[in-house]
Amino acid sequence: MKIEIRPANTSTELEALVALDVRIFSSDSFDDPDMWKDFEVFWIVLDGEIIGSTAFGLNLEFSISEEEEIPSPGCVYLATTGILPGNQKRGIGGRVKEWQINWARSHGFTRISTHCRESNIGSLHLNRRFGFEVIGRLANYYEDPDEATIVMELKL
């Protein structure tokens, strides 16, 4: 199993990014092309096939009080990480998380901020396994269904 993480070109690959994100997340997807414009975006590739993506906001963090990202020097905001359902629970998420942390460190960042649905036990467990700590909960963040988001942080 060969996993690569390579940059996505948001100018020429935007339609493919949106389509993949909708397949992964449906109602929680980044379905508006403008949502991708301020992020560093990467494809997750398994044995030559694109199976997911991840997007970072640089010098940003997710704000519990403002329900959006805010400027934060030295912080990488993991805005989204998604892997197609047929490729989940195969250890790929752990390898991607390790890559994300190494990428942030190698680019001089000192913190990583992220959030996910309260019911996303897999993501919460994975983040905790890599040292992320829960720093807050924001009720009614998600719609369809209505649910809280859990905000997590890793100090590098």
Averaged confidence pLDDT in the chain: 93
For residue 116, what pLDDT is reported? 95
Three-state SS sequence of 64-130: CCCCEEEEEEEEEEEEEEEECHHHCCCCHHHHHHHHHHHHHHHCCCCEEEEEEECCCHHHHHHHHHC
Q: Which of 45-54, 101-110, 112-121, 141-150 has the lowest mean pLDDT?
A: 141-150
Q: What is the pLDDT averaged over residues 38-53?
A: 96
Do 83 and 100 touch, CB atoms closer than 8 A? no
Which pLDDT does position 35 carry in this prediction?
A: 87
Query: Pairing state of beta strands 147-155 and 133-142?
Result: antiparallel
Alpha-carbon distance 107 to 97, whole Å?
Answer: 15
Percent of the chain topping pLDDT 70: 99
Residue 63 has pLDDT above 90, yes or no: no
Report which of residues 63 and 76 the model is more confident about.
76
First to last CA, the chain: 28
Residue extents of the structural domains in the chain: 3-155
Which fold would CATH assign to domain 3-155? Answer: Aminopeptidase (3.40.630)
pLDDT at 113: 97
pLDDT tens-digit series, residues 114-123 = 999 999 999 9
Q: Cβ of 49: how many Cβ atoms within 10 Å? A: 9
| Whether the predicted pLDDT of 67 surpasses 80 | no
Task: Give pLDDT, residue 123.
Answer: 94
Rounded to two decimals, what is the model's pTM?
0.93
pLDDT value at 88 more than 90: no
Mean pLDDT to the nearest integer, 102-124: 96
Greater model confidence, 42 or 26:
42
